[in-house]
Chain A
Amino acid sequence: MASSSGNDDDLTIPRAAINKMIKETLPNVRVANDARELVVNCCTEFIHLISSEANEICNKSEKKTISPEHVIQALESLGFGSYISEVKEVLQECKTVALKRRKASSRLENLGIPEEELLRQQQELFAKARQQQAELAQQEWLQMQQAAQQAQLAAASARSRYQKGQHGAEEGDAM
C-alpha cells in the first residue's frame, strides 16, 4: 500500500491493483516481487508523464481543465498512439452512461411531483403559516386589550368604592 505518512509525491498505484492486472495479463506466470514493485513505480511514472504532457497541451489551448482530448494528444505525442483507440472506448462508455443517467433522472421526475408543483405547494404552506401567525398575533393583541380594559374597570370601581367609602364615612358622621 502506498505510504500514508509521506507527502503527495510518495503516492503510487496500489500494489494489489497492479498485481491483479499482471495476473490477468500473464495468467500462470510467476512474477518476482521486485519485478512487481518496479511495475508499480513504472505505472506511477507513466501517469505523471502523460498528465504532465497533457497539462502542457491544455495550457496551450485556452482551456483551464485537462480534457480527454488533451490526454489523447499527449499519448500520441509521447509515442503511445496505439493506446488511443482503446482509450476512446472509455470515452464512449462515459457518454453512454451519462446519457442513461440523464434519462433515468428525467423519468423519475415525471413519476414524482414536478418541481414547479412542489414550489407551489411550498408557497401555499408559507402563506398559510403567515396567516396563522397573523391571526395568533391579533388574538393576543385583543386579549391584551381586553385585559387592559378589565384592569381599568377594576381600578375605576375600586377607586369609586374607596371614594364612596370616604363620602359614606363623612355622611355617616354627619347623620
Chain B
Amino acid sequence: MAAAATGSGPLREEEGSSGETAAPQPQGPTSVSGARLSRLPLARVKALVKADPDVTLAGQEAIFILARAAELFVETIAKDAYCCAQQGKRKTLQRRDLDNAIEAVDEFAFLEGTLD
C-alpha cells in the first residue's frame, strides 16, 4: 500500500539493506504534498499524533519526518527480530523473535506494554 495522504499508486523506491544511505535511490513518485513518498500514510500518522490530547498543533514537515522515523523503526525491529530467528535456526519470523528483540534493546523498553 502506497503511503500518501491521497493514497496514490505503488511505491517504486528501493531501500539499501545495509542501512547506509550513500547509495543513490531511484526517485519514487511524489505526492501532492511533496517529498519522497513515505511508506506510511501521512494522514494516518497525523491522526495518531493528534490522538494525543496534549498535542495541539503539529507541522506538516514534522509529520513527514516522524513517518520516516517510524519506517526506520520498523526496519530496525524487523531486522533485529530476524537475527533472533536465525539464531534459533528458523526461517520464519515468529512473534517470540520480536519479543526477544524488544527485550534486548534498551530503547525498545517502551514497547513492553504492547506485549500481551
Chain A residues near B106 (CB-CB < 8 A): 79
Measuring CB to CB, which residues of chain B are less than 8 angstroms from any residue of chain A? 1, 3, 11, 14-15, 17, 21, 30, 34-36, 38-41, 44-45, 47-52, 54-59, 61-62, 64-66, 68-75, 77-79, 81-82, 85, 91-95, 97-98, 102, 106-107, 110-111, 113-115
Stretch of A51-59, A110-118, A123-131 contacting B (4+ beta carbons < 8 Å): A51-59
Q: Which of B34, B61, B68, B102 contacts A67 (CB 8 A)?
A: B61
Find out whether the CB atom of A67 lies under 8 angstroms from the CB atom of B91.
no
* Nearest chain A residue, comparing its CB with the CB of B47: A11
With known contacts A43-B70, A48-B48, A32–B95 Cβ distance under 8 A: yes
Tell me whether chain A's interface is mostly helix, strand or loop, or mixed.
helix
The reply to whether B69 and A101 contact each other, CB–CB distance below 8 Å, is no
Please determine whether B62 and A70 come into contact, CB atoms closer than 8 angstroms: yes
Q: How far is the CB of A102 from chain B (nearest CB, A)?
A: 11
Contacts A17-B1, A70-B62; A48 near B52 (Cβ below 8 A): yes
29 A-B contacts (beta carbon < 8 Å): A11-B48, A14-B41, A17-B39, A17-B41, A25-B75, A26-B93, A30-B93, A31-B93, A32-B92, A32-B93, A32-B94, A38-B98, A39-B74, A39-B78, A39-B98, A42-B74, A42-B114, A45-B110, A45-B111, A51-B66, A54-B66, A66-B49, A67-B59, A68-B62, A78-B107, A80-B69, A90-B68, A94-B64, A98-B34
